[in-house]
Structure 1
Amino acid sequence: MPLQSGICAQYKWRMSKNTIRQIIETRMPKDGMIDTGITGVQLFRATQAVPCAPAVYEPCVIAIVSGGKETVLDGERYVYDNSEYMCCPMSMPVEAGTPTASSENPLYGVYVALDQRLMTELTIEMETTGSRLPTTKGIARGIRLARWDHGFLDALLRLVQLGNNPTDTAVLGDARLRELYYAILKGEAGAFARQAFGPGNAIARSIAHVSSRLDEAVSIDEMAAHAGMSRAVFHRKFKQATTLSPIQFVKSMRLNNAAMKIAGGMTVSEAAMDVGYVSPSQFSREFKRMYGQSPRQWSDAHQLPAGML
């Protein structure tokens, strides 16, 4: 019976998410993040409301099974819970927080780093099969929310369950992670992710190049040359992909990284040097312009909260 089949599917859907939540509850008696034993996969929990604060997202997917999270990119707010997951296929300077988390409404979720090599390998395999793949409407910028589907839920559950057995984790971890990556590339954010990880995406390559060298001087001409584009074309395509101009992107990445380091206990001068600032006065001016506080005021007022992503 179609109705009965639909009810059974919904029941299985709820049970699978509840199982993931129970795994996190069992393994995490306190707020924070823990490794699962699978490279790039972490569980997290938060029971305190934390307003959005500067953060840097490396390529990742964040899946919430209880509560909700908030991410802001260039003024656009993304609020998501257990009905949608967040896909960020390129390094991005954002603000992130858990404004609704509480002991009565705890946040439980899974963080999955997206490995460039494996995602590109899968993208190429999928696009050379000749089968029809889902496309995206409009321009997806920076990050995207995608509705959970059965493929994603099943793959995530199978991946998280491995943490209960070290041998299973060691033997099956890579295969289960590949299965989840495939589900992401097939899902609602699939076209967006495939575009970012496709071998022809020069903007993604440029972002990866800059993000790994934030402590070095970088020019727009150098970024454009690395992408194999003229300065004008690179600027236009970069802003289409990220919502930010190349200069805004580099500055936001540096200052967000510095803000996180300071909130984590690093001195202001160390944080400034770590992200490529030679002049302390320039760092202080740009930091205050970005966040409305001097670095020292920021240091006094902020601590890096447990489980912040």
Structure 2
Amino acid sequence: MQTIIEKVRDQAQKHLDPGKSVSLLPRFSLFSSTASTCPIQALYEPMFCLVLQGAKEVLIGEQLLRYDIGACFVGSVELPVSTRILEATQDQPYIALTLTLDLDKVATLAAAFPPSPRYPVDCNAPGFGVKPVTPELIEPWSRLFNLLESPEDIPALAPMIERELLYRLLTGPHQSIVRQLVGNDSRIAQVRRAINWIRSNYVERLSVNALAEHAGMSQASLHRHFRSATGITPLQYQKRLRLQEARLKLLGGAEVSKAAYTVGYESPSQFSREYTRLFGQAPSVDAQRLRSQGASAEQISTPPC
């Protein structure tokens, strides 16, 4: 196992751009950092992440997850997270590979191939998890890096590599998490409906009763399963979205009160308190710091794995 991880790590070295997410192919990316970082608040999309070197920590609700070399993280819902790199140096940078999960492709494969009997199927699995990586989830990355040396072959072979990785996720240790992406009758599917509604209507006042009806659940069931899937409650999820969107508007030059009202806050003072509690600085101070650092909207809203 160590040999193949080292091989892929060595292949990744020539593509590193420390501190930035490098797009290898659509949905395939590489991230590296030469230093540890402070916690970053953001939103993870459904994805598979494999660490080749260094270590990272992710706080989801009250659950603290650590993953390092040879470990992989999988998330099947959009997750508000607090994340930071723990181990990274100039000589041994943090290196991680990410595959963003394509829902349609996952659904097609899940319908064609049943779960593997080698791993237990948990219908109540959370929407995220960290486990040791398997050789089957590493080897395709080596072929991907080889493929990058032959651009003319990418259109024919890259989809096959993505399909293989998705198949391995659907039949490997993370199968219970990933399969919940597509089961219309699963609790995660119902939670996803609730999440999608919140994301589309985060500016509006949230009625938990209406949200539960939209998701096809009772209020008690929605609260329990939403928290299991995301680590937080629906109201907390909406608050995180509002504050994240406000941060983007502040980065773009919006005034604090304007940003607050635009994302649904009625009280700028309440907005400032909650913003400071989440991001560690007052809105205007945080926005000025981000602009001075040249931060982009993508960097602060969707941090790399």
Under TM normalisation by the shorter chain, which class is it?
A: 0.7 to 0.9
Give, as a single letter, the amino acid of the residue that structure 2 aligns with 1:297: V
* 276-285 or 149-158, which deviates more: 276-285
- Give the alignment of 1:227-242 within 5 angstroms: 227-242=215-230
1:54 is the counterpart of 2:41: yes
| Aligned mates of 2:253, 2:46 — CA distance in 1 | 24
| Aligned mates of 1:293, 1:41 — CA distance in 2 | 33
Give, as a single letter, the amino acid of the residue that structure 1 aligns with 2:49: I
| Aligned mates of 2:64, 2:101 — CA distance in 1 | 22
Question: 2:57 maps to which residue?
Answer: 70
User: What CA deviation, in whole Å up to 9, does each residue of 1:9-66 have, x standing for no partner?
Assistant: xxxx3332223222321122543111112x2111111112112220110111111111
| Aligned mates of 2:53, 2:178 — CA distance in 1 | 25
User: What CA deviation, in whole Å up to 9, does each residue of 1:91-141 have, x standing for no partner?
Assistant: 0100111132121320111111111121122222223x8x63622569543
| Aligned mates of 1:125, 1:208 — CA distance in 2 | 26
**RMSD in angstroms over aligned alpha carbons?**
2.9
**Match among 288, 292, 298 for residue 276 of structure 2:** 288
Give, as a single letter, the amino acid of the residue that structure 2 aligns with 1:191: S
**Match among 110, 114, 117 for residue 101 of structure 2:** 114
Q: Is the 8 A contact 1:203 1:238 kept in 2?
A: yes
Give, as a single letter, the amino acid of the residue that structure 2 aligns with 1:52: P
**Match among 124, 129, 149 for residue 164 of structure 1:** 149
Tell me, what secondary structure is at the counterpart of 1:297?
helix
Q: Is the 8 A contact 1:159 1:177 kept in 2?
A: no
* 216-225 or 245-254, which deviates more: 216-225
Give, as a single letter, the amino acid of the residue that structure 2 aligns with 1:33: S
1:148 is the counterpart of 2:108: no
Give the share of equivalent positions with the same residue, in percent: 27
User: What CA deviation, in whole Å up to 9, does each residue of 1:190-232 have, x standing for no partner?
Assistant: 1122124322221123223433554555432332122112333
Change (3 A) 1:258 1:96: farther
Q: Is the 8 A contact 2:77 2:229 kept in 1?
A: no
1:195 is the counterpart of 2:180: yes
| Aligned mates of 1:114, 1:92 — CA distance in 2 | 14
- For structure 2, list consecutive stretches of 5 or more residues without a partner in the other structure: none
Change (3 A) 1:292 1:66: closer
1:124 is the counterpart of 2:74: no
- Give the alignment of 1:1-309 within 5 angstroms: 13-37=1-25, 39-127=26-114, 132=117, 134-136=119-121, 140-200=125-185, 201-215=189-203, 217-259=205-247, 261=248, 267=254, 269=256, 272=260, 275-277=263-265, 280-302=268-290, 303=293, 304=295, 308-309=303-304
| Aligned mates of 1:49, 1:159 — CA distance in 2 | 28
| Aligned mates of 1:100, 1:265 — CA distance in 2 | 32
How many positions carry a matched residue from both structures? 293
Give, as a single letter, the amino acid of the residue that structure 2 aligns with 1:219: S
Q: Report the Cα offset of residue 182 of structure 1.
A: 0.9
Q: Report the Cα offset of residue 256 of structure 1.
A: 3.7
Change (3 A) 1:242 1:308: closer
Question: 1:4 maps to which residue?
Answer: none
- For structure 1, list consecutive stretches of 5 or more residues without a partner in the other structure: 1-12
TM-score normalised by structure 1 residue count: 0.82
| Aligned mates of 1:258, 1:102 — CA distance in 2 | 33
Q: Is the 8 A contact 2:250 2:283 kept in 1?
A: no
TM-score normalised by structure 2 residue count: 0.83
Q: Is the 8 A contact 1:206 1:223 kept in 2?
A: yes
Give, as a single letter, the amino acid of the residue that structure 1 aligns with 2:227: K
Give, as a single letter, the amino acid of the residue that structure 2 aligns with 1:148: V
